[in-house]
Chain A
Amino acid sequence: MLRYTLEKFLLMIFTLFIISTLTFFMAHALPGGPYQNPEKLTPQVKALFDIKYGLNEPLPIQYVKYLENLLQGNLGYSFKYMNQSVNGIIAKTFPVSAQLGLEALLFAVPLGLIFGILSALFRSRWPDYILVIIAVLGVSVPNFVLAALMQYFIGVKLQILPVAKWGTFAHTIMPSIALGIGILALITRIMRTSMLDVLGSDYLRTAKSKGLSQGLIIWRHALRNALLPIVTIIGVLMVDLITGSIIIEQIFLIPGMGKHYVNSINTNDYTLIMGLTIFYSALLVLAIFLTDLLYGLVDPRIRVAGRKE
């Protein structure tokens, strides 16, 4: 297990290194400089700014300095927001996005699990059909369409919940639902398949023939084994949350990381784009690392076989 963990950890570090390098060179290949109106800057002022942001040095030296800073967890200063560090912006906006993501997970994961289990237990009867339809719709309707639907009908027409912005709990309800529905549908589908697999297995028949009660069979034998595949999608969930939050925050005008990411794209804010890209990737890579660890823990075959898929 130790070797397995170490291997996965090194892979995580390596991946992060590659991603930072890619991001650095891509950011410097961006068309148009970082300054908003470069023609208005006198050469002297531009030179001063270049020195301030370290743009006067040759690219390899900039790259080494960038890596040094990165190792110390320093993502540099934003170009657009005067005298704000990228770290500061992340520290300010990440809690907002994290709250949104957590609320979405809190509603989507348990409900998805329950839906999946019910759907499998009621296989080919009406509860199953209804839940499968919900799951297919949840996967198919894009989250921005759902967000707009809710905004229009619940926010504007019925005026039950605030249309947009961030603040009270009421503000968080619609964005969390819009963000969570896709995850709910995904988990329902996976849980249903996995539960059906387990329900058809030999050891479940054994448990039944021992005379265990239906409830005990499902709770102790079926559920625990059926939950295994859910572990593998932690990484997928993280991707869903990240991409979802970028869109949802834009629609509901939520001052989170996703909104700032879109802003940084539109304003050519190099350092902020780079910093947020690396931060997002770090989140995802960490999630993948955790998935590997958890999977190794719950399924001994994985850690013995190493990285065989």
Chain B
Amino acid sequence: MASTIKQSHSPTFSADDFKPLDQKLDQERIARKSMSFWQDVFRRLRKNPVAMSALVFLIVLVMMAIFAPILSSHKFDDLNPTDKNLAPNAQYWFGTDDFGRDVWVRVWIGARISLFIAVVAALIDLLIGVFLGVLAGYRGGWVDNIIMRTIEVLSGIPWLIMVVLLIIVMGSGMTTMIIALAITGWVGMARLVRGQVMQLKNYEFVLASRTLGARTWRIMSKHLIPNVLGIVIVRLTMNIPAIIFTEAVLSFLGLGLQPPLASWGVLVNDGFKSLRTYPWNFWFPAAAISLTTLAFNLLGDGLRDAVDPRLRK
């Protein structure tokens, strides 16, 4: 440039020189559609064959729980005194129990009840845990102190003992079981969320939002909760099998649902009594619990990697 100016003392400019450059706007455009966080998670999850098989298994399980009892010609509480303790056969696919009830239908009815209890209790845990965790982590101070002390005291009681006490006091049944499981289960979730929120609240986007005058509840609901949701969902997936297990244990201790209602825990307990003579009464519900727990754990592992790929090990 400098040399051209020296050579020509009277520069001539054409009108063309002042035309704006032909900006290639297309170059700057992001060709790919932007993905939401959950689309991204699902895209990563889809590449994980183990987690996807677990997901498919769980979907099939839920469908079976809904439709298998409807489609079967037997009812879960039909008593057939002539068909007692039959081995699996063409008419009774999983055999029959002590009262001649069809184990196939009972396993799927059990799936309904066990999954229902587990999902509802886990969701209540999630709501309480996220609310208290965000509150404690964001507000800090005395609010945090009270919530954390409560958590510390609660985690000093072994959860099974606590659930047992609650059920003895309130009487056994589906509602009390869900309440007892929910009262004890939120502690871990609240701890997890609190830890996350304590990190998040120091980030610039929270500061920016606060500077712009956002109120506490808005920061919580628009910024903090969406950001912990990923890890919370992972935890939820891991909590569900834990609750299924607890429900089974409670039935094992004689604190479960009352017959003829059949959760997986009740079935396992009934089956265990006749394990030596009619083992299929035990194996089918036991396999159902084990496989479901396995599927939830595998899905949880996959989700964790998908939600936060840095954690992948």
Tell me the nearest residue of chain A to B254, going by C-beta.
Answer: A266
Tell me the nearest residue of chain B to A163, going by C-beta.
Answer: B276
List, in ascending order, chain B residues with CB within 8 A of A29's CB.
169
- 5 pairs of residues in contact across A and B, judged by CB atoms under 8 Å: A26-B166, A136-B294, A140-B241, A142-B290, A265-B255
Q: Which of A215-269 contact B (CB under 8 A)?
A: 235, 238-239, 242-243, 246-247, 250-251, 261-262, 265-266
| Distance from A242 Cβ to chain B, minimum over Cβ atoms (Å) | 5
A26 and B169 within 8 A (CB) = yes
- Does chain B have a CB within 8 A of A298? no
A309 and B275 within 8 A (CB) = no
- Does chain A have a CB within 8 A of B92? no
Tell me the nearest residue of chain A to B163, going by C-beta.
Answer: A243
Partner of A262 from the list B159, B171, B198, B253 (CB cut-off 8 Å) is B253
1/0 per residue B280-303: CB within 8 Å of A?
A: 001000100110011001100100
1/0 per residue A150-190: CB within 8 Å of B?
A: 01100010000000000000000000000000000000000
Q: Main secondary structure on chain A at its contact with chain B?
A: helix
Among B7-15, B150-158, B206-214, the one that faces the other chain is: B150-158
Partner of B156 from the list A140, A266, A285 (CB cut-off 8 Å) is A285
Given known A-B contacts A26-B165, A145-B290, A250-B253, A281 and B194 have beta carbons under 8 A apart: no
List, in ascending order, chain A residues with CB within 8 A of B160's CB.
242-243, 246
Q: Which of B156, B268, B313 has most A Cβ within 10 Å? A: B156
Q: CA separation between A261 and B254, bound complex, in Å?
A: 12
- Does chain A have a CB within 8 A of B252? yes
B156 and A145 within 8 A (CB) = no
- Does chain A have a CB within 8 A of B309? no
B268 and A144 within 8 A (CB) = yes
Q: CA separation between A14 and B153, bound complex, in Å?
A: 8
1/0 per residue A289-303: CB within 8 Å of B?
A: 000000000000000
- Does chain B have a CB within 8 A of A30? yes
B249 and A280 within 8 A (CB) = no
- Does chain A have a CB within 8 A of B70? no
Given known A-B contacts A15-B156, A239-B158, A144 and B252 have beta carbons under 8 A apart: yes
B161 and A277 within 8 A (CB) = yes
Partner of A145 from the list B153, B159, B286 (CB cut-off 8 Å) is B286
List, in ascending order, chain B residues with CB within 8 A of A309's CB.
191, 194-195, 198
Given known A-B contacts A29-B169, A148-B272, A309-B195, A281 and B293 have beta carbons under 8 A apart: no
- Does chain A have a CB within 8 A of B55? no
- Does chain A have a CB within 8 A of B173? no
Q: Main secondary structure on chain B at its contact with chain A?
A: helix
Tell me the nearest residue of chain B to A23, going by C-beta.
Answer: B165
Q: CA separation between A248 and B138, bound complex, in Å?
A: 42
Partner of A281 from the list B157, B168, B254, B290 (CB cut-off 8 Å) is B157
Q: CA separation between A16 and B157, bound complex, in Å?
A: 9
Interface size class of chain A, counting residues whose CB lies under 8 Å from the partner chain: 35 or more
Q: Which of B135-191 contact A (CB under 8 A)?
A: 148, 152-153, 155-161, 164-166, 168-169, 171, 191
Q: Which of B214-238 contact A (CB under 8 A)?
A: none
* Contact surface of A with B, Cβ cutoff 8 Å: 11, 14-16, 18-19, 22-23, 26, 29-31, 136-137, 139-142, 144-145, 148, 151-152, 156, 192-193, 196, 235, 238-239, 242-243, 246-247, 250-251, 261-262, 265-266, 273, 277, 280-281, 284-285, 288, 307, 309
A250 and B153 within 8 A (CB) = no
B248 and A148 within 8 A (CB) = no
A15 and B290 within 8 A (CB) = no
B164 and A242 within 8 A (CB) = no
| Distance from A222 Cβ to chain B, minimum over Cβ atoms (Å) | 15
A196 and B290 within 8 A (CB) = no
Q: Known pairs A139-B297, A145-B290, A281-B156. 5 more at Cβ < 8 A?
A: A141-B294, A243-B249, A250-B253, A277-B157, A309-B195
Tell me the nearest residue of chain A to B166, going by C-beta.
Answer: A26
List, in ascending order, chain B residues with CB within 8 A of A144's CB.
248-249, 252, 268, 272
- Does chain A have a CB within 8 A of B245? yes
List, in ascending order, chain A residues with CB within 8 A of B241's CB.
140
Tell me the nearest residue of chain A to B191, going by C-beta.
Answer: A309
Tell me the nearest residue of chain B to A243, going by C-beta.
Answer: B160
B313 and A192 within 8 A (CB) = yes
Q: CA separation between A262 and B167, bound complex, in Å?
A: 13
